[in-house]
């Protein structure tokens, strides 16, 4: 069933659907066609159980809240719908439309960001005021607004639900638009997790000064050993030191977080599995 509206409203009346114009501040751009069809069937069978909210506008009325109910009524072939008429300014219309969708958790993060930005730019209110009016935390509003700094290609992916809001926030750690778009496309292809993307976008630690011990270890390597050491560093994306002691020695691999350790381990174990499959194939 469609979204609820406060029951204490009085003065319900009926209006022809053609008397009601859309809400110009409706933040939702994406519509669930299947959900709307189901609602239309319910309206056809039971009618509109919760009145729409409208305001007087020009020579008719303008919708404040209840867009899905109005569309469902149109699809169901109704000519009239129950409404409550209330006085409402432009800013309150946008706020009510936002609250209605947020309460139903039926609004996309990019749609929310557009609406927050419109409240701030058109009506001159602060992020703190947006958060208070909409029952959101200040950091939540700020983080959602930051998604608008992502490249348009990535915003479209968020709007279409191809990547999640968490993934969008992880991409904000990058500065290069081309790199962000490329990683977004990889997320879509490979289904990368938020944790994986956060590890990939986390700034690398600054290189540490090379110790005398490391220099000494490097001096013990021949040209092939130094080349192998460099190749290991490139392959693993971290500092690798080969310590040669005659015919034996040790390989030291550094990591800087649990995620970094997981990444390095996965890389090594993947190579190990690849070798095992080759051995199995020749058996």
Alpha-carbon distance 165 to 163, whole Å? 7
The answer to whether the CB of 172 falls within 8 A of the CB of 149 is yes
Alpha-carbon distance 280 to 283, whole Å? 5
The answer to whether the CB of 31 falls within 8 A of the CB of 66 is no
Which of the following is catalytic: 67, 95, 100, 111? Answer: 67
Alpha-carbon distance 95 to 108, whole Å? 16
- Annotated catalytic, 67? yes
Q: How many helices (H) and strands (E) does the chain have?
A: 13, 7
Q: Which two tokens stand for residue 228?
A: 């192998």
Place of tokens 């992020």: 127
CA separation, residue 245 to residues 217, 227, 251 (Å): 9, 17, 11
CA separation, residue 37 to residues 44, 45, 77, 86, 121 (Å): 10, 13, 12, 29, 35
CA separation, residue 29 to residues 70, 111, 114 (Å): 16, 7, 10
The answer to whether the CB of 94 falls within 8 A of the CB of 25 is yes
Alpha-carbon distance 70 to 40, whole Å? 10
Alpha-carbon distance 134 to 141, whole Å? 10
Cα dihedral 215→218→220→226 (10° resolution) = -160
User: Which of the residues are catalytic?
Assistant: 67
């Amino acid at each position: 069933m469609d979204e609820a509206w406060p029951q204490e409203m009085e003065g319900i009346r009926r209006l022809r659907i053609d008397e009601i114009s859309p809400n110009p501040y409706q933040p939702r751009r994406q519509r669930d066609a299947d959900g709307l069809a189901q609602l239309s069937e319910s309206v056809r069978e039971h009618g509109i159980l919760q009145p729409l909210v409208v305001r007087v506008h020009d020579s008719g009325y303008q919708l404040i809240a209840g867009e899905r109910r109005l569309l469902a009524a149109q699809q169901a072939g109704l000519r009239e719908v129950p409404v409550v008429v209330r006085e409402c300014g432009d800013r309150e219309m946008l706020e009510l439309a936002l609250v209605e969708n947020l309460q139903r958790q039926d609004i996309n993060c990019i749609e929310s960001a557009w609406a927050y930005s419109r409240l701030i730019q058109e009506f001159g209110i602060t992020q703190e005021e947006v958060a208070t009016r909409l029952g959101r935390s200040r950091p939540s509003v700020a983080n959602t607004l930051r998604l608008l700094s992502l490249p348009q290609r990535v915003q479209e992916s968020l709007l279409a639900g191809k990547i999640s809001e968490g993934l969008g926030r992880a991409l904000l750690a990058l500065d290069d638009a081309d790199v962000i778009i490329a990683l977004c496309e990889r997320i879509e292809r490979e289904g990368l997790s938020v944790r994986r993307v956060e590890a990939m976008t986390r700034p690398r630690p600054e290189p540490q000064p090379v110790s005398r011990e490391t220099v000494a270890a490097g001096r013990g390597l021949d040209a092939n050993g130094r080349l192998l050491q460099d190749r290991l560093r490139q392959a693993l994306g971290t500092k690798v030191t080969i310590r040669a002691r005659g015919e034996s020695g040790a390989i030291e691999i550094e990591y800087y977080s649990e995620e970094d350790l997981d990444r390095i381990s996965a890389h090594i174990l993947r190579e190990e599995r690849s070798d095992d499959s080759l051995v199995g194939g020749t058996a």
